[in-house]
Amino acid sequence: MLNRPLAALAITASLAAPAIAETRYGFEAVDGHKIFFREAGDPANPTLVLLHGFPSSSHQYRNLIADLEDSYHLIAPDYPGFGASDFPDADDYTYTFDNIADTIDTFLEQRNVDSYSLFLQDYGAPIGMRIAAEHPERVQALIVQNGNVYEEGLNKETWGPIMTLWNGGRNAEIEAQIASQVFSLEGLKWQYTHGTRNPDGILPDNWLLDYHLMNRPGQHEVQLGLFYDYRTNVAKYPEWQAYLRTHQPPALVVWAKNDAFFPTPGAEGFKRDLNDVDYNILNTGHFALEEDVGFIADKIRAFLSARDIK
């Protein structure tokens, strides 16, 4: 037991110490639906909007948030039907990339987030690029981690079954085959571990959480609908490439070369359309933050600082 003088000294020291930065969690009602978000850092600092991929949620940014919260304001929402956000019935919410982007755009406006860098990964690219093209004056920079906006950045082999739907319309038999692979526990684990340097080092919580959420009643139909709707993203690639050429946002590209879905030609496209690209190819898989969060966090600090983004 501490004696009284030492105990008093310990209490005084703890009161004088600065508060430890930590992630805050909350919900924002957007058009009657609760959008879950993680937020950290001082809003007076430069803001990073972290847009997650499939089949994940803001959970994929947990380590990056912890690494950067001392210097940046970070906010990471879960899309409707993903993570801890509401999962409304399809009769009450239209699950398309257009509508999800509108929801996240409204979320940011309601949170008074009107100047930011966008972190684009997987589904975060078509959602974020819709927002960027709508509000180019708000975007300070792009951070692109296997967030594709080029046709050559689609692996025809892994996208093949979904592309079959795009070309021939929705098909119950093909969708059942896709579902049996994509939504199984092994299929979800593969998305996190494929192409990584150390598969045994990837946190199993990732795919266990996704498996629970992706197998809620009604989820398969919603997600298969989004796979089909992804064709609208490909149709918008020329529009988004024009946005890049016209507005020239500085871009940090940190691209996992072993990604089974988005190969490196998708990364190379940014070098064609942008004048200011910090280009990095990483030896890891689709969710690069699982193995290379330290490298990516350091690159973000150096990249934004060099461009006086504040």
Please report the sign of the dihedral spanned by the C-alpha atoms of residue 143, residue 147, residue 150, residue 155. positive
Residue 185 inside a domain? The answer is: no
What's the pLDDT tens digit per position in 65-117? 999 999 999 999 999 999 999 999 999 999 999 999 999 999 999 999 999 99
Q: What is the CA radius of gyration of the chain?
A: 20
CB 87: neighbour CB atoms within 10 A? 18
Per-residue pLDDT at 20: 43
pTM metric for this prediction: 0.93
Q: Where are the alpha helices (DSSP H) in the chain?
A: 4-16, 62-68, 97-110, 124-134, 156-168, 172-182, 185-193, 205-214, 219-229, 231-247, 265-273, 289-306
Strand order of the β-sheet with 277-282 is 24-30, 33-40, 73-77, 47-51, 116-120, 139-144, 251-256, 277-282
Closest by CA position to 296, among listed 253, 251, 250: 253
Residue 132 inside a domain? The answer is: yes
Per-residue pLDDT at 245: 98
CATH number, domain at 145?
Answer: 3.40.50.1820
Residue 182 inside a domain? The answer is: no
Residue 73 annotated among the catalytic residues of the structure: no
Residue 177 inside a domain? The answer is: no
Q: How far is it, in rounded angstroms, from Cα 111 to Cα 152?
A: 36
Structure tokens, 157: 């082999």
CB 238: neighbour CB atoms within 10 A? 12
Residue 253 inside a domain? The answer is: yes
Per-residue pLDDT at 310: 79
Are 28 and 34 in contact by the 8 Å Cβ rule? The answer is yes
Q: Residue 288 belongs to what domain range?
A: 16-155+233-306
Are 185 and 211 in contact by the 8 Å Cβ rule? The answer is yes
Residue 282, helix vs strand vs coil: strand
Per-residue pLDDT at 21: 62
Are 249 and 140 in contact by the 8 Å Cβ rule? The answer is yes
Residue 6 inside a domain? The answer is: no
Number of domains in the chain: 1
Residue 150 inside a domain? The answer is: yes
**Annotated catalytic residue within 33, 52, 73, 286:** 286
Residue 265 inside a domain? The answer is: yes
Per-residue pLDDT at 50: 99
Give φ, ψ of 277 to 5 degrees: -130, 125
Enumerate the β-bridge partners of residue 27. Answer: 36
Note down pLDDT in tens along the chain; length 310 residues. 444 444 443 334 334 444 446 899 999 999 999 999 999 999 999 999 999 999 999 999 999 999 999 999 999 999 999 999 999 999 999 999 999 999 999 999 999 999 999 999 999 999 999 999 999 999 999 999 999 999 999 999 999 999 999 999 999 999 999 999 999 999 999 999 999 999 999 999 999 999 999 999 999 999 999 999 999 999 999 999 999 999 999 999 999 999 999 999 999 999 999 999 999 999 999 999 999 999 999 999 999 999 999 7
Q: How far is it, in rounded angstroms, from Cα 182 to Cα 234?
A: 21
